[in-house]
Structures are given as structure tokens and as C-alpha cells.
Amino acid sequence: MKSRILFKILSLLLALSMLATIFSGCTKSQRIRNDGKISIVATIFPQYDFARRIAGDRADINMLLKPGMEAHSYEPSPKDIIGISKCDLFLNVGGESESWLESVLESADNPDMKIVSAMNCVDAMEEETSEGMQSREHHHAHENESDSDHHHDEEEEEEYDEHVWTSPMNAIAIVNEINRALCELDPDNAEYYCANTSEYVAELLELDNSFREIIDGSKRKMMIFGDRFPLLYFVREYGLDYYAAFPGCAAETEPSAATVAFLIDTVKREKVPVVFYIELSNHKVADAVAEAAGVKTAQFNTCHNISSDDFIAGESYLSLMQANLNVLREALN
């Protein structure tokens, strides 16, 4: 993992050195668009969607992770680096998967840029491995490191779950922080941003209440995922139990036979009617578990990214999470 991160950083530094002349002598006033709109760059879909609900037509908003793209393999292009360096407001997750950001932001000649990192808006939780889950492989060893040094590194390193937006209450905290940054950047439009934020927060609270009503009235409190599980914040918010094939940021795509057998046995024993998979997944594991257990599968949206078709159709964090309500109701009853 560290060697891969180092390679990314070195690649980014090279790109930045090639692009440095673009920014030399370029003042902030020269970077702002002629239409006077705030420039916002978001690394992934949730923050992009939050920003467009708050800023509306008062901002130009760009999402780096394109619809349908796999988030965990994303690497910024020189164009992406330029966009980050020139923007007024930069929205990111702030976790290990975006470790490449440090060198980009250090090199950006834009002291007035505001940054909102989603993980800094909430109480981050350590990533965990549930019973039966395929253990996440760690690749922290360097060449010439002893086994004891490698073991010590693994003991010292804490890995946090980055999917903080999956709890609607966390989404509200992130939305409020984005609003605060926009109001500071553009006080002339602060009333507009605050009105949009107030309306959006009310809708998110209604979503939260709908989840609580379904879960409080359900006969079981367990979710089964034959897939990655990037929903730790969601299940902790609503007091749900879960079993899954992989942790949220796992690179593996094939679970062990023991993991599959455990999930099948759990579905049968607990009489769980639905095995979930997440969006943009091939859902092969979920299909195999469901077929063996004689139950159905369903997609549960994590909103980490969105398909191209859904993006064109105007789907949003709110609409995708609302779609989860019906499938959750079936799975818990």
C-alpha cells in the first residue's frame, strides 16, 4: 500500500512541476470565471451532489470521479490537478484513499481556497472486519523491512472507514460545513445558500426519520451483503447488525469459500430474505449466496459513485437513499 501511495505521490509531483508555469504570475482574480460564479471541485459524488443542492446556479461545480468510475482506482490527471489548484472551494473525503491530495494542495498557489474534508465534519470510525468477512489484505511492508518492523507498523496504523456520508445525519453535518464555507467565500449570496441548506437539511431529516420508522418497526435488525460493505456509519446510526464478504475499501473481488459458506449459513439460519450488493458491482458473490440460500438479491445504494445513466437521469444522494427505504423494509421483515 505504502509503495503504491509513494508512486502516486512521485507521479503527482512530476505532473505539478510540469504545470508550475501555468500558475506562476496568475493571480486569484485572473482565475475566477468572468461570470463571477464560485468554482467548486468535489472528488466524489456525495459532496458534488451536496454542493449543487446548496449552491444551485451560483457556482460551477466539477466532480473528479466521473460517473461509473471505480473510486478506489482513481488517480488525478494533470487537468484534475489544475482544476483543484484553481478552485475556490475544494470538497474531498479526507481519508487514505485520497492520500495523493497532500502533495497537490501543498503545491497549489491558491491561499484563498477553502477546503471541506468530509471526515473532518464527523466522528470518524475505525474500519472493522465482521465475523466471517474476508480479511482485508495489508501491503505495508517495504523491501529490507524485517518481519518485526512490518508487524509493528500494522499495530501502529489505524485505518478509518471513509464512507461517512452513508449516515444521513453525517450528511447533514457535511452539508452544513459546505454551506458555512460558501457563505464565507461569497457573502453576497449567503442568504441564498442558507435558504437552500435549510430546505435540504429538512429533507435529510425526513429521510432519517423514515429509516428510523422502518427499522424500529422491523422484525429483524440484520443486513447481509455479498459484496464490499461501505455502510458502517449507516448501520451504527440505526442500530443494525451486518455480515458482508469484504470491508468497504477492500481490493479483493473473490471471497474465500469459507466466507461464502458463512454468508449462506447465516442467511439460512436467520431467515434473511434479501442479500444486498452495492451499486456498480458485478454482484456475483451476492448472486451466489442468494441462489444457494434460496432468497433474492437487491441493490443498496451507498452513493459513493453513480452510474452514467443515473447521473444523466438526475438521480441524487436523496433519491438514491430514498430508493433504499423499500429494499430495506423487505430485507428486515
Any residues with CB less than 8 A from the CB of 302 and at least 6 apart, and which?
Answer: 163, 166, 230, 231, 278, 279
- Residue 26 pLDDT: 41
- Residue 201 pLDDT: 98
CB 176 within 8 A of CB 201: yes
The sign of the dihedral angle between the CA atoms of 49, 228, 327, 240 is negative
Cα 172 to its chain centre, rounded Å, is 15
- Residue 20 pLDDT: 45
CB 296 within 8 A of CB 274: yes
Domains present along the chain, CATH in parentheses:
2-125+160-202 (3.40.50.1980), 217-331 (3.40.50.1980)
- Residue 107 pLDDT: 83
Per-residue b or e along 66-95, where b marks 16 or more CB atoms closer than 10 Å to that residue's CB: ebebebeebebeeebbbbbbbbbbbbbbbb
- Residue 254 pLDDT: 85
CB 173 within 8 A of CB 123: no
- Residue 14 pLDDT: 43
- Residue 135 pLDDT: 66
- Residue 315 pLDDT: 98
- Residue 144 pLDDT: 42
Alpha-carbon radius of gyration of the chain:
21
**Gap between the Cα atoms of 262 and 243, Å rounded:** 9
DSSP H helices, 158-245, are: 168-185, 190-216, 232-238
Q: Going residue by residue through the chain, which has 333 residues, state the pLDDT in tens, using 9 for 90 and above.
A: 444 444 444 444 444 444 443 344 344 433 445 578 999 999 999 999 999 999 999 999 999 999 999 877 788 899 999 999 999 999 999 988 888 888 888 888 899 999 999 999 999 999 988 888 976 543 333 334 444 444 444 455 678 999 999 999 999 999 999 999 999 999 999 999 999 999 999 999 999 999 999 999 999 999 999 999 999 999 999 999 999 999 877 766 689 999 999 999 999 999 999 999 999 999 999 999 999 999 999 999 999 999 999 999 999 999 999 999 999 999 999
